[in-house]
Amino acid sequence: MPTGPESFDFLKPKGDVQPLAPPASATTDSGETVASSGTHTSSSKLSAELPRLGHYQVLEVLGRGGMGQVFRAQDSRLKREVALKVMNKKFSATPNSRIRFLEEARAMAAIDDDNVVTIYEVGESDGTPFMAMELLKGETLEKLTRSGKAVALDDLVDIAKQLVSGLSAAHRRGIVHRDVKPGNVWIESPSGRVKVLDFGLALASSPVDTFAETTSVIGTPGYLSPEQARGERLDDRSDLFSTGVVLYELACGKAPFAAKTIPEQLVKILTQDPPRPDAIQPRVPRQIADVIMRMLAKEPRDRFRSAAACVQSWTAAAEAIEAEKRAAVQIVLDPTPAAAKSASETGKNPVVSTAGGSLWNDNRVRIGAVLVAVLLVVAAGWLAFGGEKRVAQTPTAPPPAAVPETVVLASSLDVLSLSEIPAAPSSVFGGQQTRYRIVLTNAATSDQADPRRINAKARVIAQVATYLYPAKEPGQMLRGARRSVAFPKKLSAAMLPPPGQNRELEIDFASVGITPGDYEVEFELQSPQGTPINRLSTPLKIEENLATSDLVGFDRIRTSQGKGADTFVKRGSTDDFGGRPVIEIDRRSATSETSELSHAYLRFDLSGIANRSETIDRAMLLMTLEPGGFKGKCTLQAYGVTTPLPQDWSEKGASHLTWETSPSQGPIESYPFLGRIEFDNSGGQLEKRADELRLFGPGLDDYLRASDAATVTILLVRSSEGAAPTKLVSREGNEAEAPAMAIRKRR
């Protein structure tokens, strides 16, 4: 293992180990990207002496960035090597930095695409946030762009299609990267596959800094979109501009907005159009130059409508270039010269050499050959400037020119209005999809006033934009803080109601990244150019979603700590099950009295939390599913035990719990209901993922606040039927993965 002067105090050595140092082959100047082109240590050489973070054994340093380090590590559970990105203590102690790190991890983990780096796990170990991702071989595009060399045409097209395709996968989930640059684009070796890295500035339908100052500029100078440089609201078309800058740099060997200072760079981005790539590099076909220049349009509306549409344009450009190549080759290899006439047809004697029978010795032949060569050179130059299209036997038609959009005047839409919102949720957990039904009314009294007829040639006649406002108090909105939370819903003529009629529209958006609180959702009917016509609003409360919480600020108290304990009881049995490595919860049949039935009991030592009614803010019950512990969908319900159950009940021995001596024998519905958890482990994706099963709710919070006893006991039952018991990891199975009560204290 590499040795050197550096050590990391957040790593836990199991013995005397040498401090880690970066390998000579590691790339350390590419920010926080994931890299490894060195030799991998086989798992057989791993030992218990390696430093670790959680269940990851750290092998070597791969790189460093502004917020932390990237290590090559071995997942001791799944026996695979990963890139482990760890936030250093300086930044993990800062809430905003930690939130950014975890938001990046969650944003990347939500995307499943071959052109986006795969995140295996996101978590914390003793307060140190980390994420484990696939270990990549190769290098970033930064090495290519720094060389100042233009890449080959075929490589450029391939990189462009894969890069935009990866961004398209993110955009489909409502995630905008906001920091596309060569250092965040990885070329995998030896496959050449492109991987998009580091969604550290990514935002979902609403960004992490949704209600930050609109004048703030986030991103990398030189690759910012104009709207990003102005601090305006962004959508996926901002990524297309930044990608266009990267591809321009690859095509031309130089950046389009190069300047000596950052202010000069921003001025160029905002005000100047760069020269076309084919003007700088004549080898760049005009079709590719057209696509890149459209990506670099100053206004988002002038770029491609989506990354998917951009991929199609790159494909079409490549096909058009290939077609022209085939046409040019046909001119050279399949000419149609005039048929040669024989001597008998002309009546003239053929030219015969007087020296050895060689025609080349004849001066007239040599002069003719020179003239033919000159003509060929002239013809080749003419073809290079497009002349081949006039002489090719089977010319390929150029791509059809874009049809100009028909302008829709806002005045022609005055008869349209959003009249009501018949279906709207009053609250939603953060991160969940929110769906609304709104009614669009066409008040036109004649066909002549019908917007569908007036704008019959327009592809899009109107659109509905969705905005979110923080509510100052019920019924009031802070209009200056308005932010878009969904792409506008485009309305064609077929989607508009006939004169005098209504039509329902469905609008939905994801509340990912939005700070919990009270908001107003506003729907605004607009012209295709964004001119407001009419609006409606409705209140929405966004609740904190602990199911996706990063557990920052939570203290975990496990059944393996203090006077904690965990066991299960089975109907018809007096055996003690507390010493087993798993906790079983069973319900085979809802009708048979003789069916398998078992309940779990979890005891937590809360003696260290005083004045709980004032101290506890939120709480979660965390559990880990045992491998093979259950396949399929399962629902568990939790109840707070309030009967005089001995606080010192034991897992085994004389005072162990049985069905007859526990609350299971009575009507458990009489106990406080704490909440339920529903999960699906059909594919085994939850097995051995520590603390992945989470149960929370106001019932659990209130139960803990109301208790002043040193310990509390939770009763778990399964309300769904199954062919086998649900098995959870117990304290005997793994102390670090035993059931836990995660508690966040009020500030």
Answer yes or no: are the C-beta atoms of 497 and 438 closer than 8 Å.
no
Q: Which of 309, 295, 314 is nearest to 153 (CA)?
A: 314
- Cα four-point dihedral sign 131, 133, 137, 143: negative
Count of residues making up the chain: 747
Enter the tokens of residue 440.
């669009």
DSSP result, 202-230: -B-SS-TTTTS-TT---S-TTS--HHHHT
Q: 85 and 130 in contact (C-beta within 8 Å)?
A: yes
Spatial separation of the C-alpha atoms in residues 133 and 112, rounded to whole Å: 13
Tokens of 696: 């929370």
Write out the H or E segment, with its range, that includes residue 294: helix 286-295
Euclidean distance between CA atoms 553 and 695, whole angstroms: 17
CA 644, 646, 649, 654 torsion: positive or negative? negative
Closest C-alpha among 646, 622, 486, 467 to residue 551: 622
Identify each DSSP E strand in 432-512 by its residue range: 433-442, 462-470, 483-491, 502-510
User: Is the backbone peptide bond immediately before 190 cis, with ω within 30 degrees of 0?
Assistant: yes
* Contact of 536 with 521, CB cutoff 8 Å: no
Q: Which of 9, 75, 113, 179 is catalytic?
A: 179
Main-chain dihedrals φ then ψ at residue 417, nearest 5 degrees: -155, 150
CB distance 259 to 268 below 8 Å: yes
Token digits of residue 345? 């047809």
User: In the chain, helix, strand, coil percent, each to 5?
Assistant: 25, 25, 45
Contact 64, 114 (CB under 8 A): no
DSSP 3-state assignment of 292?
A: helix
| Residue burial 291-303, b: 16+ Cβ < 10 Å; e: rest | bbbbbbbeebeeb
Pairing label, strands 532-543, 427-429: parallel
Q: Which strands make up the sheet holding 416-423, listed edge to edge? A: 416-423, 433-442, 502-510
* Three-state secondary-structure class, residue 379: helix
What φ, ψ does residue 109 adopt, rounded to 5°? -65, -25
Q: In whole angstroms, what is the distance from residue 565 CA to residue 741 CA?
A: 12
Listing DSSP states for 553-618 in one string gives: TEEEEETTSTT-EEEEEETT-----TTSSEEEEEE--SS-TTS-EEEEEEEEE-TT--SHHHHEEE
The answer to whether residue 179 is catalytic is yes
What six digits make up the tokens of 270? 């905002």
Where in the sequence numbering do the catalytic residues fall? Answer: 179
